[in-house]
Amino acid sequence: MTLSRRIWFFAALFVLAHTALAMEVPQTLLPRAKLMAGGHSIDAQVASTPDQRSIGLMHRKHLPQAEGMLFVFEQPATQCFWMKNTLIPLTAAFLADDGRIVNLVDMAPQSLESHCSTLPVRYVLEMNQGWFAKKGLLAGARVGGGPFKTQSTRP
């Protein structure tokens, strides 16, 4: 093998190795939104691109209690989530455009089981498993702030 081919070969190996390592690093530098649910403040990272949504909370070893991740989709659809490469147990709240919780699902770490919304939604909020239950938040409760459309009280 010529020197130039060796250089290209090792450069390609370096890029592949770097990409593989980068894929196992949690994404922590996403934009954030301040949300409220049942009088409780949530600091949510916002995953709004396909790449951000596909990584989600993967590879995290810890998620602070008042933090979560808000997944934003372009249009309402049945959204389904799994927990491959996600190390912490989570609860997903599937949210309507106005922030109403459509349904909640608990998800086990590193599972390939699919968990879906019961209706088309544009938003999914993941929090530590049990966070919604501890706060007394069930389907029908509302999450406010961030991108949610709120109904005006003005005539």
Per-residue model confidence as pLDDT tens digits over 7-30 = 554 454 444 434 434 457 778 789
Phi, psi (rounded to 5 degrees) for 51: -65, -45
Residue 101: strand pairing partners: 95
User: Which pLDDT value is given to residue 77?
Assistant: 97
CB 60 within 8 A of CB 86: yes
Domains, the chain, ranges and CATH? 32-145 (2.60.120.1140)
* β-strand pairing of 40-47 with 67-77: parallel
Quick: pLDDT tens for 93-138.
999 999 999 999 999 999 999 999 999 999 999 999 999 999 999 9
Whole-number Å distance between alpha carbons of 78 and 120: 4
Percentage of the chain lying above the pLDDT 90 cut: 75
* Sequence-ordered list of residues with C-beta below 8 angstroms from that of 120, at least 6 positions apart, any chain: 76, 77, 78
Whole-number Å distance between alpha carbons of 40 and 61: 23
Q: Which amino acid is at 88?
A: I
Nearest to 45 by CA among 21, 24, 63, 20: 63
